[in-house]
Each structure stands twice: as structure tokens, then as C-alpha cells.
Amino acid sequence: MSKARKNDLIDELANGYEQMLEKAVGDIYRSEQKTESSLQHLIHNAKDKVVELKAVSGKEAEQIAEYVARDLHHLGDYISGTGKELNDWLGFEVALLESEILDLLLKAADSTTVELILRNRPAEPSDIEYAVDEIAGPGTLVCKECGDSLELRRATRMISCQKCDGEIFTRETN
């Protein structure tokens, strides 16, 4: 595969993540029934919509849906468990984000939405790992090998650490 085609694919997957996030967060924010099962249903609907728009393939959409759910749950767990805010979860100032992704994350971080989504859901581990080739939402990720930080200002396909070639990252939160 040519480098240009590989970069196009990476952009398509990141755009698919953002489209899925936009649909799922918008729908859950407007929904009167904010539960874990309704969130899963809305992520599934968002996945179908992204496939329908031919943004990504069905197989890619399945994987991206898992990444969106992972990041939304981690954000909710973090805000609910610590009482901190979106800035803290990102590891940098929200002003550095594009306004569209910021609006989505602020809606997802809304305390009412977080509390209702997480009600009756078992706690998940706080150190979720992000591996090379996965899509990660915005935030600061840290290489588990060397501790080098990587600031993601939008959804990005993970690449190996630029410092040590490490392949596993965790989210740095304040």
C-alpha cells in the first residue's frame, strides 16, 4: 500500500471515529433515556450511519464503535470518579481543540449525562491501554515504555512512540 493511500485510510478511520462520536453523543445528549443500554444502542446506530454514509467499511466501523465506547466510558468514569473536568481528562487546555470536537466532548462530559449513563454500570479499570493502530480520541497519551507524552487534538490512529517505538499507551489525566 502506498504511503498516500495509508495516510488516506488513517484519515478515513479518524473521521469515522469523529462522525460516530458526533452522532452518538448528540443522540444521548438529546435522549430522555440515558442508560448504559441506550448508550450502547446509540453507538450501534451511529456505527450503522457511518457505514451507510460509506465513511468506513462495516468491519472498520465495528472496531471504531468499540473505540468510541471505550473513550466515552473512560471519560464518564474519570469525571464521575474524580469530580474533575474535561481539561483534566484531556491533559491539556480545551481551547486547543477544534470547536466541533470540543462541543461533543463537553456534551459527553455533562454531569447529568455522565451520571445517568454510568448508573448501575460496573466500574472499569482507570488505566485503559491504547495500542498502535487503534483510534484514540483527543487527549494526552503516555508511552508505557518510556513515559513520553503525545497530545492528540483530534481522533487519531495510534502510531508507535516516536522516542522508543513503544506500542502501548495510557491516558494521562490531571
CA 115 – CA 94 distance, rounded (Å): 22
Reduced to 3 DSSP states, what percent helix, strand and coil does the chain have, rounded to the nearest 5? 55, 10, 35
| pLDDT score, position 146 | 97
pLDDT: is 121 or 136 the higher one? 136
Q: What is the pLDDT of residues 6-31, one digit of tens each?
A: 444 457 888 889 888 888 888 877 77
Mean of all residue pLDDT scores within the chain: 81
For residue 42, give every residue at least 6 positions away whose Cβ sits within 8 Å of its Cβ, in sequence order, or none. 23, 24, 27, 28, 31
Give Cβ neighbours of residue 120 (< 8 Å, ≥ 6 apart). 35, 36
Instruction: Flag whether 76 is in a domain.
Output: yes
Mean pLDDT of 49-69: 90
Domain annotation covers residue 91: yes
Residue 42 has pLDDT above 90, yes or no: no
> Which of 36-40, 124-128, 139-143, 151-155 is least confident?
124-128
pLDDT of residue 160: 94
Q: How far apart are the first and last CA of the chain?
A: 39
Instruction: Say how many domains are in the chain.
Output: 1
Quick one: pLDDT at residue 121?
55
How far, in Å, are 40, 51, 85, 168 from residue 35 at the CA level?
9, 24, 21, 31
Decide the pairing of beta strands 149-152 and 135-136. unpaired
* 108 inside domain: yes
Residues 39 and 24: their CA atoms lie apart, in Å, by: 7
Extract the C-alpha cell encoding 25.
453523543
Measured in degrees and rounded to the nearest 5, phi and psi for residue 7 equal -65, -40
Question: Is residue 118 one of the residues assigned to a domain?
Answer: yes
Q: Which residues pair with 168 in a beta bridge?
A: 131
Is 147 part of a structural domain of the chain? no
Q: Is residue 145 part of a domain?
A: no
- Tell me whether residue 7 is in a domain: yes
What is the residue range of 33's domain? 3-126
Q: For 108-126, write each residue's pLDDT tens digit.
A: 777 656 665 555 555 555 5
- Selection from 110, 90, 113, 97 nearest residue 42 by Cα: 113
**% of the chain residues with pLDDT over 90:** 29
Task: Answer whether residue 148 is part of any domain.
Answer: no
Q: From CA 77, how far away is CA 23, in angstroms rounded?
A: 21
39 grid coordinates? 448508550
